[in-house]
Structure 1
Amino acid sequence: MTPRFDGWAEKVRTTFGRQGMMQALSAEMTDLAPGRCKIAAPFPDRMRQHHGYAHAAVTFALGDTSAGFAALTLMEEADEVLTAEMKINLLAPAAGERLIGRGRVIRPGRRLTIVTAEVWAEADGREVQVALLQGTMMPVPG
């Protein structure tokens, strides 16, 4: 997959820096490539549900955001990205110290981009997949 303009990585990282939700989660973009994005975030007690696992909303936010920024890597320079629809399958309880979202583009398009994301929980250096997301992203004027 080929980005549509030089400077795509800087634009994506700058846009990520404006994400209030990701700031609230103390999330970091740890890897970025055309059509791919990896975001990691700790999940402290305030992000856990009543059984002590990361709340599903945190899992969804990380998967949706990593997939959205993967899509943004392939959009036009003037575009920003919005989620048109997203489905999540929760595969296992998210136990551990942090969550890792790995988003990727399945099929880029001018109007719609099909994406997927996997979310993993990391504990003691081991990862367990906790969610699989699939969705559609759309460009909007920036």
Structure 2
Amino acid sequence: MVEATAEVQARVQASFERQGLMEHLGARISYIGAGEVHIQLPSRPEVTQQHGYFHAGATSSIADSAGGYAAFTMFPENTSVLTVEFKINLLAPAEGNHLEAIGTVLKPGRTLTICQLEVYGVTPTTRTLVAAGQQTLIQIEARAER
């Protein structure tokens, strides 16, 4: 893992903090590297489904943001990132003290970037892959963020 520059880390963190959904879920960025971002989501009743597992929507949302921001670390200043598409496979019930989504750039591009998505259920003694996917992102001219 190669840490992103301080400027890139600040740009990614500032953008992430403007995402209402991530704030609502209680997610936070735990690592910003060059082409790799980790997002953690603590377990709490508001992000679970009827059986007590993390909801697939919460799992997918942090995976999407982790991949999007991984791509964003590789984009030049004065650009923005948008998801074009993503596919996620839910591999096991998502449970643990928290989830950790990892977005990793597989192929950067001038316009489209492809990322790998992984989500782990984490306890003090285990780390289980609960979701895996792939994502396509587009680099666009910077747009105003709220």
TM-score normalised by the chain length of structure 2:
0.90
Q: Give the count of matched residue pairs.
A: 139
Aligned equivalent of 1:103: 103
Query: Which amino acid is the alignment partner of residue 28 of structure 1?
Result: R
Query: Which amino acid is the alignment partner of residue 108 of structure 1?
Result: P
Aligned equivalent of 1:43: 43
Q: Residues 107 and 94 (structure 1 numbering): CA distance in 2 closer, same or farther, change over 3 Å?
A: same
- Are 2:130 and 1:130 equivalent residues in the alignment? yes
Kept in 1: contact 2:82–2:139 (CA 8 A) = yes
What does residue range 68-107 of structure 1 map to in structure 2 within 5 Å? 68-107=68-107
Query: Which amino acid is the alignment partner of residue 95 of structure 1?
Result: E
Aligned equivalent of 1:30: 30
Taking only the aligned residue pairs, the percentage that are identical comes to: 37
Query: Which amino acid is the alignment partner of residue 96 of structure 2?
Result: G
The farther-off stretch of 115-124 and 81-90 is 115-124
Q: 1:125 offset after TM fit, Å?
A: 3.7
Distance 1:39 1:6 in 2: 18
Aligned equivalent of 2:21: 21
Aligned equivalent of 1:60: 60
Kept in 2: contact 1:25–1:43 (CA 8 A) = no
Q: Residues 141 and 27 (structure 1 numbering): CA distance in 2 closer, same or farther, change over 3 Å?
A: same
SS in structure 2 at match of 1:118: strand
Q: 1:95 offset after TM fit, Å?
A: 1.2
Kept in 2: contact 1:39–1:101 (CA 8 A) = yes
Q: Which runs of 4+ in 1 moved over 6 A?
A: none
The farther-off stretch of 71-80 and 42-51 is 42-51
Query: Which amino acid is the alignment partner of residue 118 of structure 2?
Result: E
Distance 1:46 1:26 in 2: 10
Runs of 5+ consecutive residues of structure 1 not aligned to the other structure: none
Distance 1:8 1:110 in 2: 18
Q: 1:123 offset after TM fit, Å?
A: 2.0
Q: Residues 78 and 86 (structure 1 numbering): CA distance in 2 closer, same or farther, change over 3 Å?
A: same
Task: Give the RMSD, CA atoms, in angstroms.
Answer: 1.5
Query: Which amino acid is the alignment partner of residue 81 of structure 1?
Result: V
- Are 2:139 and 1:139 equivalent residues in the alignment? yes
Distance 2:71 2:125 in 1: 28
Runs of 5+ consecutive residues of structure 2 not aligned to the other structure: none
Distance 2:17 2:47 in 1: 20
